[in-house]
Amino acid sequence: MLSPTLHITCILVILSAITGCSTAPPEDAARNTPSQQDFASAAREYRHHAAELREMARRRQIEADVLAQKENPDMEKVQAKRELAKDLLEAADQSEAKARDLQRKVPHGMVQ
């Protein structure tokens, strides 16, 4: 079974990857205001991360289901995988919410 500390560490690594990959260092001091294209690009990145997290959650749920079907299943491992899947889905929802937030900042007529 994953220890609670390892479980939390995994989630923190995933969340930091989401936020870290979508933020770029400033290219120059004169450009402080993000452009509409920046918002659109960041929204796409957040949606991509959300899709990856959902896929990871789906796999953990399948693993939990397979473990549960074995003879004498280790229910602690099954529960740990299901908890991880739930946490991954929550992280995906947060990433999707951030994408929607950024999408609102993109004008309606802009092609992405």
**Kindly report the CA angle at 84 between 53 and 68, in degrees rounded to 5?**
120
pTM, whole model, 2 decimals?
Answer: 0.67
- Residue pair 50/19 in contact (Cβ under 8 Å)? The answer is no
Per-residue pLDDT tens over the stretch 7-37: 666 666 666 666 665 555 555 545 567 778 8
Per-residue pLDDT tens over the stretch 55-102: 999 999 999 999 999 999 999 999 999 999 999 999 999 999 999 998
